[in-house]
Structure formats: structure tokens, C-alpha cells
């Protein structure tokens, strides 16, 4: 089984930049996308290009052109929830929690903490969102169920996960309190799947759109697939795809034993 996550920075935009060809060639079973930035009704004509083999589900923000997540799957989900039981979070269309047999798959676009004035004013909201999602999943994790949490986490976990850590210690996405929240998930038993297979530097999933930044690989690794202990035992591989363009993020993903769905 292959599961892929990609912040597409606008689905309608990326559909005009080769998304359908990428999707056909990727041979994934499930694709989670973030930052859809459209209501589902606006996507109809665009989605015709991806073909009829995919089951589709979307959750949009109340604010037009903002946030939003979607799942494209070759497998029918038993259930998809889009609520964290908090109206403030739910209004932003940031989460889908899907059940595929035994597997719980959370497709998530975590908030950016920068705030409208780039003053880190939204970090408290961001951390509260992390904690609420953690709590929603915790009963299943404690039971040993397989859980994958994938998406744009908007946080680089360690210094190795961004090109210029020293210059960014006060930048949202690499502040001590944001990194500590990711540490808390890891201490609880979640596994950073990419680091199981690749311990080295220079691997990023997001680059500024300023000219030449991506070519120089001055990036951040802020897109992850975290696996609970119950899911990690089914892990066979994990990857980033920096050669795939069309967004300021690249796809990330995992390969798993089919038994994960039970």
C-alpha cells in the first residue's frame, strides 16, 4: 500500500501544472492533499481530468479560497470525520480523519503560527490545534490501533530539517514551543516515518517561492507522515519527492504492508 500527502497550494492551480499526470504515474492507493483553497462545487470541472478511478472527499474552510483538505482514494473509506468538535478549528477546514478497516488516517493541514502581521501571534492557536487533534486520536493510539497522521505540519522538527536553523529560531515553524509539541508526539510513541529510513541532512519538502531558492535547496521539511506504534510495524518505506513541482511543497509518502488495514 502506498499513501501520499501533498500540500498543493491551490488544487485548481496545480491541476493546470501536471497534477493529473503525476497522480496517474504515482500509483498511490490514497492521496491526501492540503491547501485545496476551493469549495468542492468549484472543483467539479477541474477534477474531470483525474479520471473516475478515484473516490473523492473534501473539507473546505468557511472562508473562501482558504485552507481546505481532500482525500483521493482507490479504497472506500468506512468513515470520514471532518470535525475536531471545536467550532473555531472546524471552520478552517483543516482535517479529515478517515477509517480504512483497522487503519485511522488523518489528513491534516496544521495552522501556520505567523499571524497576519508575521508576529507569531497565531502560535497559541496552532499549538491548541495540535493538542486537540492529539487528544482526538489518543484513545485509538492507546488501544494500539494503527494511525497515520499526514500533512503539512508547518513545523520543522529538528535543526537537520531546515537549511538555515540558526537564522530561524524566532520564526514560526521553528520556535522552541512548536518543536516541543512535535517532540511530545514522538515521546508518546509516534514515529517520524521519513527519519526511519533517512537520517541525513538536505531533505526538504517546502521552499520559498523567491527566485532560485528551490534550485539552491534552501528549504524546510515541514510535511510529515507520523505513524503510531501500531502503524509503524507495517512500515516498508518512506520518501520525499522534491523533483515533483507545481507547488511550493513537494509530495511525501509511505509504503506499507497491506495488512495495516486488517
- Binding-site residue ranges: 7, 35, 152, 154, 248-249
Q: Residue 203: what are its φ and ψ, rounded to 5°?
A: -115, 115
Q: Which residue do the cell numbers 524546510 mark?
A: 220
The most distant pair of C-alpha atoms in the chain lies apart, rounded to whole Å, by 48
Q: Residue 130: what are its φ and ψ, rounded to 5°?
A: -50, -50
DSSP 261: G
Mapping DSSP to helix (H, G, I), strand (E, B) and coil, where does residue 190 land? coil
Nearest-angstrom CA–CA distance, 144 and 189: 10
Q: Is 109 a catalytic residue?
A: yes
Binding-site residue numbers for Mg(2+) are: 7, 35, 152, 154, 248-249
Active-site residue identified among 100, 130, 152, 204 = 152
Q: CB–CB of 173/122 below 8 Å? A: no
Active-site residue identified among 157, 203, 234, 249 = 249
- For 75-135, the DSSP string reads S--SEEE---S-HHHHTT--EEEEEETTEEEEEEEPPPSSTTTTSSTTHHHHHHHHHHHHH
Q: Is 203 a catalytic residue?
A: no
Active-site residue identified among 109, 130, 204, 224 = 109
Q: Is 249 a catalytic residue?
A: yes
Catalytic amino acids?
109, 152, 249
Amino acid at each position: 500500500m502506498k499513501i501520499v500527502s501533498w500540500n498543493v497550494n491551490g488544487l485548481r492551480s496545480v491541476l493546470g501544472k501536471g497534477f493529473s499526470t503525476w497522480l496517474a504515474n504515482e500509483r498511490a492507493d490514497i492521496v491526501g492533499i492540503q491547501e485545496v483553497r476551493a469549495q468542492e462545487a468549484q472543483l467539479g470541472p477541474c477534477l474531470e481530468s483525474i479520471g473516475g478511478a478515484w473516490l473523492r472527499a473534501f473539507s473546505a474552510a468557511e472562508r473562501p479560497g482558504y485552507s481546505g483538505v481532500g482525500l483521493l482514494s482507490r479504497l472506500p473509506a468506512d468513515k470520514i470525520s471532518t470535525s475536531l468538535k471545536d467550532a473555531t478549528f472546524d471552520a478552517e477546514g483543516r482535517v479529515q480523519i478517515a477509517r480504512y478497516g483497522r487503519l485511522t488516517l488523518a489528513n491534516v493541514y496544521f495552522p501556520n503560527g505567523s499571524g497576519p502581521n508575521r508576529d507569531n501571534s497565531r502560535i497559541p492557536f496552532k499549538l491548541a490545534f495540535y493538542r486537540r487533534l492529539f487528544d482526538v486520536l489518543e484513545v485509538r493510539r492507546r488501544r494500539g490501533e494503527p494511525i497515520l497522521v499526514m500533512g503539512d505540519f508547518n513545523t520543522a522538527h529538528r535543526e537537520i530539517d531546515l537549511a538555515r536553523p540558526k537564522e530561524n529560531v524566532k520564526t514560526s515553524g521553528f520556535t522552541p514551543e512548536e518543536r516541543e509539541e512535535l517532540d511530545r508526539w514522538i515521546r508518546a510513541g509516534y514515529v517520524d516515518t521519513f527519519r526511519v529510513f533517512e537520517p541525513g541532512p538536505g531533505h526538504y519538502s517546502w521552499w520559498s517561492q523567491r527566485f532560485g531558492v528551490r534550485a539552491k535547496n534552501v528549504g524546510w521539511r515541514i510535511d510529515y507522515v507520523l505513524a503510531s506504534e501500531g502503524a509503524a510495524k507495517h512500515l516498508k518505506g518512506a520518501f520525499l519527492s522534491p523533483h515533483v513541482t507545481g507547488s511550493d511543497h513537494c509530495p511525501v509518502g509511505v509504503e506499507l504492508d497491506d495488512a495495516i488495514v486488517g
